Structure 1
């Protein structure tokens, strides 16, 4: 088992290492503190997916701390609950993989009738298809990296089957040290608040490198022949940027093709190969993700579910609710009720 690198050692001693400043002008980082379990649930759910907690002691007050920074689609989160509780993650077909890297103390992970102790020097990748129970204690802390499913799932059915089954915790060794060093580099840049990650193009490039390194660690035999041709082409990024900027606009495939600057057939091939999706499916998922953020953030202003659905060009309320539940494991009205409880 490898010892913690200097960066991770600093993170284990500083729960706000990746967010030394409160909310930035670009909204890329945030910090949350609370003694209340439901506030803790809401803070973590906001960047990952719905889940629940079960306190070990009635009326227990926590020393919860959550600092978060993000690139474009991938979020980095330092989390300590500051108390004894179970975190229950059982919602089906969740929207993200989560790479869990313990920073200090010991937490326990239970899944598929097995249990592991997670300590500094280990790591695990949570599958969106598997249920988990994490037991946390007062002193433990971890880094959780949230990765949208489409960024890590591959066109290789065998690889996706392995991902769907869930990956057991592993000790950090030579095969994973490079990935951990790169994560340390990213977290150091968050800590510095420097200019490097302010560029959208740089953030996208950093994400692509991170994904390639993670896949290489998970599937070394499948990735051994990767060449420069496997780098996500610029037209895919152009299409993604265009769609991200026009989530509330009535855009069509022709508009996306024009923004990408390639023929429709080429665009479909690029999304199929590098995103395991189609352009319109990618747009739909982004709209649902943003709709969820609007529901979580807009409870105080009396936001209505149907208004949010219409904002993202989903005019059939029943179909919106069904597809929302498939993605996030709860109805949009349940998300809104949960957010209202935190106000």
Structure 2
């Protein structure tokens, strides 16, 4: 397990540390009082940092080569830009900082936040066979999805990373990696679940339907409900999904539910939780069909995931 602690009131020293700990980065500030405090816990391919930057800091950074999630606790990130978009973030926001191969820039204003980084290959491993998985958006699908990611990160920080067994158990390391990757796939738009066509501007019908589906993963939903939420007929919403995403609305919802079930199985205690109960909680009431769909998606049965 890697760990580090850093504290400084010198801008040049802080810049040198950020270059070593993250990527080549140029920072600047007009503040006279500079204060930076950073700590890191890391295991396997995951690192979790806590940053307290008590000043206004401009930054321009080279690509990180990793998935980087930021959870803002206080202060703000302003005019953060990368890969054709620009946004600002405040307390409670969760953001994917930048695609692993893209530079980014912006300004931190007296912020306290957590930074979680991991190998992008984990997304592909969890999603199953196919092309490398990419995130298609920098914000989670919904407030509920953001909360899910935040809880997963808190669980890693508070319960897993301090555990000495995490240093030696290969099974535990694998399950921790899969839990984080599954949580991110369930929360953020990505090529494994969202058609893989980044340049497609989805019709308004599809956008409305997606918003409804992503907020209704844990509820009974019919094709009529989806059509009503999109403001069109059943035939129209099915046709729009087929053209834009190459799937049906209910098949898309099933993939969202499979991802939620996988995240729960990875985090569960096999002595207290059953595959049947998890499947039923996410709408899969026929164990055989659940196991078959799950294995087709993830290359292993639900019970194999639970045992890990």
TM-score, scaled to structure 1: 0.49
The count of aligned residue pairs is 196
- 1:48 paired to 2:22: yes
Q: Give 2:7's match in structure 1, choosing from 8, 19, 33.
A: 33
Cα gap change, 1:81 to 1:172, in 2 (>3 Å): farther
**Counterpart Cα distance in 2 of 1:41 and 1:147:** 22
Is the Cα contact below 8 Å between 2:140 and 2:146 reproduced in 1? no
Cα gap change, 1:104 to 1:158, in 2 (>3 Å): same
Is the Cα contact below 8 Å between 1:71 and 1:204 reproduced in 2? no
**Counterpart Cα distance in 2 of 1:43 and 1:172:** 34
- 1:124 paired to 2:124: no
Match of 1:72 in 2: 44
Is the Cα contact below 8 Å between 1:123 and 1:171 reproduced in 2? no
Match of 1:185 in 2: 155
Is the Cα contact below 8 Å between 1:88 and 1:134 reproduced in 2? yes
Shift of 1:149: 2.7
- Larger helix proportion of the pair: 1
TM-score, scaled to structure 2: 0.54
**Counterpart Cα distance in 1 of 2:133 and 2:122:** 13
- 1:207 paired to 2:177: yes
Residue pairs, 1:150-189, within 5 angstroms: 150-153=121-124, 156-157=130-131, 159-160=133-134, 163=135, 167-170=137-140, 173-189=143-159
Cα gap change, 1:167 to 1:39, in 2 (>3 Å): farther
Residue pairs, 1:66-105, within 5 angstroms: 66-89=38-61, 91-92=62-63, 94-105=64-75
Shift of 1:68: 0.5
Shift of 1:39: 2.5
**Counterpart Cα distance in 2 of 1:97 and 1:158:** 13
Cα gap change, 1:115 to 1:137, in 2 (>3 Å): same
Is the Cα contact below 8 Å between 1:122 and 1:170 reproduced in 2? no
**Counterpart Cα distance in 2 of 1:42 and 1:223:** 42
Cα gap change, 1:142 to 1:134, in 2 (>3 Å): farther
Shift of 1:74: 0.7
Per-residue deviation, residues 124-176 of structure 1 (Å, max 9, x unmatched): 112123332221123x111111112322356655953xx3xx63335862223
Cα gap change, 1:210 to 1:62, in 2 (>3 Å): same
Give the 3-state SS of the residue equivalent to 1:84 in structure 2: strand
Bigger relative contact order, structure 1 or 2 (CA pairs below 8 A, ≥6 apart): 1
Cα RMSD for the two superposed structures: 3.2
**Counterpart Cα distance in 2 of 1:55 and 1:65:** 16
Is the Cα contact below 8 Å between 2:122 and 2:177 reproduced in 1? no
**Counterpart Cα distance in 2 of 1:209 and 1:190:** 11
Shift of 1:190: 6.3
Is the Cα contact below 8 Å between 1:28 and 1:69 reproduced in 2? yes
The farther-off stretch of 193-202 and 74-83 is: 193-202
Cα gap change, 1:173 to 1:96, in 2 (>3 Å): same
The farther-off stretch of 146-155 and 77-86 is: 146-155
Is the Cα contact below 8 Å between 1:29 and 1:68 reproduced in 2? yes
**Counterpart Cα distance in 2 of 1:200 and 1:134:** 39
